[in-house]
């Protein structure tokens, strides 16, 4: 299984971002990891990268519950981008509310919805999904 060149993690929980970063290394998930603690920071980065032609992440792990700009607001802005290539988005949340799962499924850009904590098997599943999306 080929690891992801650039992955992006958008989550305001610094302990989670630290742990998932280590976990990604253990399962050989990605080469580079971009971490943003708020959706607006990630949007600003992506807008700039698209404008300058910089290489974009191929996978985004997105928390839905964040202050300032939450994951839903991020998605509402993200879908307006004219992307040169597909970016696979996985929702990562502590929410067990079925309404959140249904809302996530309403976005074509969202590949899957995972409940924290994220397991190594979840990461391998995300890798397989990204590989299928590249074909």
Domains of the chain (ranges plus CATH)?
A: 6-133 (3.40.50.2300)
What's the rounded Cα separation, in Å, for the pair 58 and 43?
15
**pLDDT by position in tens, the chain (length 135):** 789 999 999 999 999 999 999 999 999 999 999 999 999 999 999 999 999 999 999 999 999 999 889 999 999 999 999 999 899 999 999 999 999 999 999 999 999 999 999 999 999 999 888 888 766
- Cβ contact 95:115 at 8 Å: yes
- What pLDDT sits at residue 135? 64
What's the rounded Cα separation, in Å, for the pair 66 and 75?
13
- What pLDDT sits at residue 130? 82
CA angle 53, 56, 60 (to 5 degrees): 155
Omega prior to 117 cis, within 30 of 0: yes
- What pLDDT sits at residue 129? 86
- What pLDDT sits at residue 124? 94
């Amino acid at each position: 299984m080929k690891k992801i060149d650039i992955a992006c993690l958008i989550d305001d929980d610094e302990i989670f971002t630290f742990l998932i970063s280590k976990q990604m290394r253990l399962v050989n998930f990605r080469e580079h990891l971009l971490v943003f603690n708020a959706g607006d920071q990630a949007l600003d980065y992506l807008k700039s990268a698209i404008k300058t032609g910089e290489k974009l992440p191929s996978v985004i792990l997105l928390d839905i519950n964040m202050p300032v700009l939450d994951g839903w607001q991020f998605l509402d802005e993200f879908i307006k981008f004219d992307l040169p290539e597909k970016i696979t988005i996985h929702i990562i949340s502590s929410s067990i509310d079925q309404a959140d799962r249904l809302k996530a499924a309403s976005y074509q850009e969202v590949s899957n919805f995972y409940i924290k904590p994220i397991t190594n098997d979840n990461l391998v599943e995300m890798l397989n999904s990204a590989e299928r999306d590249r074909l």
